[in-house]
Amino acid sequence: MPVRETTRGSRKTDLGGRYDLVICGASFAGLAVARQVADSGGEILMIDRYEVGERQTSACAIPTCWLEALDLLEAEAQRFGELVVHTPHRTVSMPLPWEFSTFDYPALCRLMWERSGVRFETAKVDGRTPGEEDGLITVETDRGGLSAPLVVDALGWRRILDPGMAVTPPGAPLSRALEVHPRGTSKDLEVWIEREYVPAGYGWSFPAGDEVRVGVGSFDPEYHVRKPTEALAGDLGVEAEAWQGNWIPHRLREATADGVFFAGDSAGHCYPLTAEGIRPAFYFGLALGALLADVLSGRSTRERALADYGRFSRSHALRYDGLLAAQRTLPRIPPRLLPSALGSLTDERLASRAFARYLDLAPPGFVRAIGRPATAGRVLARAA
């Protein structure tokens, strides 16, 4: 069992009381919210059951331009200019019009937190008390009840602060993914679309300096991925060690419920088909943070922020539906036809167009546009 660094025993003081904003979850979505509200005034508390960056939640691959836009290149581990896709009948190398990077999770999270200046405490969220009292929502934690008019659930797929929505695997629209992080090196960003490993989903090997992150994800929540992950690691000649895995939502959910704001996996913001969840967690977290900054500095109200944010998130529904349709189609393509389906993406012009459209789902230019909280409402209206 890994040793928890979390504050325990007699050091675990009561945090109960009133705040202006409570951000629950200090991974990608929560840290993006914290980045935006940094100088807005008010009593802000961010909590997580682990220390910032203590528990890696993904393989940590992201378009490099997003690391650049957020000024986080310090945390970069390795960079790639092409994606190597293995199918049963052929291996295809796709040139990427923009690069991908893997990064160091603890380094990235700590950089974002330190720069935000937001107060952080470790606390486990158990739920919320029903309703509101004097316009305040109370988050129940193992360190007391935290009451605030503004509450963010960036706690991942469980959506803990929405008791009205039961997200229970394996019945819920979730994918499952598992990976190992052995020592090793490689120069290629690789993906396997091979039924031998998983009937609906894909395997990957994402190198990150002196470790490789090798895993398998299944769009079908009933399909277990431990053995396929061991098989892929075995085929690559690396140890199946240092495991991490989780459920991944593959359907967009409402981004607000009963006065609470949801961002990242709690709002189903992870993209279907690719299971890329870090960039959208940043994107929606930044949008939400900008709207909350407006509320904290008196330029907007909570009700307006709830309406604007809900609308902004929903305005992406068509694009999520399209990706979900592609996720459902992929396993139906006969393996012998996969190379020609993917082969078109070896053409630089076609690849460039397809990848540009994909990047456009959450373009890096959004970071700068949203960087001025005073214009957040207008920026979001335009983006929607």
Ligand X SMILES: Cc1cc2nc3c(=O)[nH]c(=O)nc-3n(C[C@H](O)[C@H](O)[C@H](O)COP(=O)(O)OP(=O)(O)OC[C@H]3O[C@@H](n4cnc5c(N)ncnc54)[C@H](O)[C@@H]3O)c2cc1C
Binding site for ligand X (CB under 6 A): 25-30, 48-50, 55, 57-62, 124-125, 154-156, 160, 177-179, 206, 215, 245-246, 248, 264-265, 270, 275-279, 281
CA angle 153, 226, 241 (to 5 degrees): 90
Do the strands 211-218 and 201-208 form a parallel or antiparallel pair, or are they unpaired? antiparallel
Q: Please say whether the beta carbons of 23 and 154 come within 8 A.
A: yes
Least separation in angstroms between residue 161's CB and ligand X is: 10
Q: Least Å distance between CB 15 and ligand X?
A: 12
Q: Amino acid letter at 312? A: F
Q: Which is nearer to ligand X, 58 or 300 (CB)?
A: 58
What minimum distance in Å lies between the beta carbon of 286 and ligand X? 12
Q: Which is nearer to ligand X, 58 or 147 (CB)?
A: 58
Closest CB 176 distance from ligand X, rounded Å: 8
Residue with smaller CB distance to ligand X, 33 or 345: 33
Cα angle, residue 57 at apex, residues 152 and 267 outer, rounded to 5°: 35
Residue 97, Cβ neighbours under 10 Å: how many? 16
Length of the chain: 384
**Distance from C-alpha of 218 to C-alpha of 64, rounded to nearest angstrom:** 26
Which of 84, 82, 80 lies closest to 102 in space, CA to CA?
80
Closest approach of ligand X to the CB of residue 297, in Å: 25
- Of the candidates 342, 272, 329, the residue with the CA atom closest to the CA atom of residue 94: 342
Per the omega criterion (within 30 degrees of 0), is the bond before 63 cis?
A: no
Nearer Cβ to ligand X, position 282 or 300?
Answer: 282
Considering the complex, state which of residue 256 and residue 300 has its C-beta at the smaller distance from ligand X: 256
C-beta closer to ligand X: residue 296 or 362: 362
Q: Tell me the residue number closest to ligand X, measured at CB.
A: 277
Closest distance to ligand X from the beta carbon of 123 (Å): 6
| 189 and 79 Cβ atoms separated by less than 8 Å | no
